[in-house]
Chain A
Amino acid sequence: MANVSLINLKKQFGKSLAVSDFSLEIADGELVAFLGPSGCGKTTTLRMIAGFLDPTAGRILIGNDDVTAVPVHKRNTGMVFQRYALFPHMTVAHNVSFGLEMRKVPAAERERRIGLALDMVRLTEFKDRYPRQLSGGQQQRVAIARALAIEPKVFLLDEPLSNLDAKLRLEVREDIRALQQRLGLTTIFVTHDQEEALAISDRMAIMHDGKVQQVGTPQDLYEKPANLFVADFLGKMNFFSGRQAGEGQFQTQEGLQLKVAAVAGDTVTIGVRPERTELSSEPASDNSVPVTLKSCAFLGSHIDVVLTGAGQQRLSCQLSNTAAGSSHQLLQEGARLFMNFKATDCVVFSERGAR
Chain B
Amino acid sequence: MTASKFPAQRLYPGKLFLRVFVFFVYAVMLCPLIFVIWLSFFKDAILYFPPSGYTLQWYQNAWQNQAFINGFIFSMQVALVSALVGVCLGVMAALGIIRYKFRGNKPVNTLLLSPLLMPGIVTGIAIYLFYLRTENFLDRDIVGTIGGLVLAHICLTIPWTVRLVSASMQGLDPSIEEAARNLGANGRVAFLRITLPMLRPAIVAAALFSFIVSFENLEVSLSLVGPGNTTLPIAIMQYLEFNLDPTIAAVSTVQILLLGVIMLVTDRFVKLSQLV
- Which residues of A are in contact with B by a Cβ distance under 8 Å? 50, 52, 71-79, 81-83, 85-89, 98-99, 102-103, 143, 146-147, 150
Q: 5 interchain pairs (CB within 8 A)?
A: A52-B181, A81-B175, A81-B178, A81-B179, A87-B194
Contact of B183 among A82, A83, A89, A99 (CB under 8 A): A99
Cα A88 to Cα B176 in complex, Å, equals 9
With a CB–CB cut-off of 8 A, which chain B residues contact A74?
A: 184
B interface bracket (residues with beta carbon within 8 Å of A): 10 to 19
Please encode chain B, from 169 to 203, with 1 for each CB lying within 8 Å of some chain A CB and 0 for all others.
00001011011111111100110011001101000
Contact A85 B184 (CB under 8 A): no
Interface string of B139-150 (1 = CB under 8 A from A): 000000000000
Contact B175 A98 (CB under 8 A): no
Whole-angstrom CA separation of A83 from B189 in the bound complex: 22
A88, B198: Cβ atoms under 8 Å?
A: yes
Contact of B175 among A73, A85, A102, A150 (CB under 8 A): A85
In the docked arrangement, what's the CA distance between A78 and B180, Å? 11
Q: Which residues of A contact B184 (CB under 8 A)?
A: 73-74, 76, 99, 102-103, 150
Closest 8 CB pairs of A and B: A102-B184, A99-B183, A85-B175, A85-B179, A81-B175, A72-B181, A79-B182, A89-B197
Chain A residues with CB below 8 A from B175, complex form: 81-83, 85
Question: Once the chains are docked, how many angstroms separate the CA of A46 from the CA of B182?
Answer: 12
**A301 nearest CB across to chain B (Å):** 37
Give Cα distance in the complex from A85 to B182, angstroms.
11
The reply to whether B173 and A87 contact each other, CB–CB distance below 8 Å, is: no
Q: Are B180 and A98 in contact (CB under 8 A)?
A: yes
* CB <8 Å contact, A85 and B176: yes
- B275 CB to closest chain A CB (Å) equals 15
Residues in chain A near residue B198, CB distance under 8 A = 87-89
| Interchain CA distance A88-B175 in the complex, whole Å | 12
User: Who on chain A is nearest to B195 by CB?
Assistant: A87
Q: How far is the CB of A104 from chain B (nearest CB, A)?
A: 9
Out of B178, B183, B186, which one reaches A98, CB within 8 Å? Answer: B183
Q: How far is the CA of A90 from the CA of B185 in the complex (A)?
A: 16
Total number of A-B contacts with CB less than 8 angstroms? Answer: 64
Which residues in A have their C-beta under 8 angstroms from that of B197? Answer: 89
Within 8 A of A (CB), among B127-178: 173, 175-176, 178
Tell me the residues in window 105-124 of chain B with beta carbons closer than 8 Å to chain A beta carbons: none
Digit string of B54-72 for contact with A (CB within 8 Å is 1, else 0)?
0000000000000000000
Measured between alpha carbons, how far is A146 from B183 in the docked complex, in Å?
8
Interface residues, chain B, with chain A CB atoms under 8 Å away: 173, 175-176, 178-186, 189-190, 193-194, 197-198, 200
Report chain B residues within 8 Å CB of A85.
Answer: 173, 175-176, 178-179
Whole-angstrom CA separation of A103 from B186 in the bound complex: 12
Give the most central of A75, A76, A81: most B CB within 10 Å. A81
B73 vs chain A, min Cβ distance (A): 36
| Closest chain A residue, CB of each to CB of B187 | A73
CA of A209 to CA of B184, assembled, Å: 32
Please name all residues of chain B whose beta carbon is closer than 8 Å to the beta carbon of A98 when the two chains form the complex.
Answer: 180, 183, 185, 193
Q: Are A102 and B179 in contact (CB under 8 A)?
A: no
Chain A residues near B173 (CB, 8 Å)?
A: 83, 85
A77–B183 Cα distance when bound, in Å, is 8
The answer for the CA separation of A103 and B182 in the assembled complex, in Å, is 12
B227 to chain A, nearest CB (A): 48
Given A83-B173, A85-B173, A89-B198 in contact, is the A102-B189 Cβ separation under 8 Å?
Answer: yes
The answer to whether A79 touches B179, judged by C-beta atoms less than 8 angstroms apart, is: yes
Are B183 and A150 in touch, CB under 8 angstroms? yes
- CB pair A73–B186 under 8 Å, yes or no, is yes
Q: Which residues of A contact B178 (CB under 8 A)?
A: 52, 72, 79, 81, 85
Expressed in whole angstroms, the minimum distance between the Cβ of A91 and any Cβ of chain B is 13
CA distance A98 to B180 in the complex (A): 8
Contact: B176 with A77, CB < 8 Å?
no
A88 to chain B, nearest CB (A): 6
Pair A72/B189 contact, Cβ less than 8 Å: no
Residues of A within 8 A of B185 (CB): 73, 98, 102
Q: Within the complex, what minimum Cβ distance (angstroms) separates B101 from chain A?
A: 13
Q: What are the residues of chain B within 8 A of A143 when measuring CB–CB?
A: 179
Distance, CA A132 to CA B126, complexed state (A) = 48
| Supplied contacts A85-B179, A88-B198, A98-B193, 16 more A-B pairs, CB within 8 Å | A52-B181, A73-B183, A73-B186, A81-B178, A82-B175, A85-B173, A85-B175, A85-B178, A86-B179, A87-B194, A89-B197, A99-B183, A99-B184, A102-B183, A103-B184, A146-B183
Q: How far is the CB of B251 from chain A (nearest CB, A)?
A: 40
Docked CA distance A147–B184 (Å): 11
Nearest CB in chain B: distance from A223 CB, A:
37
Residues from chain B with Cβ under 8 Å of A79 in the complex: 178-179, 182
Of listed B178, B181, B182, B184, residue having the most chain A CB within 10 A = B182
The winner among A79, A87, A150 for most chain B CB atoms within 10 A is A87
Report B214 CB to chain A, min CB distance, Å: 29
CB pair A87–B176 under 8 Å, yes or no, is yes
Provide the residues of chain A in CB contact with B176, threshold 8 Å.
85-88
Tell me the nearest residue of chain B to A149, going by C-beta.
B183
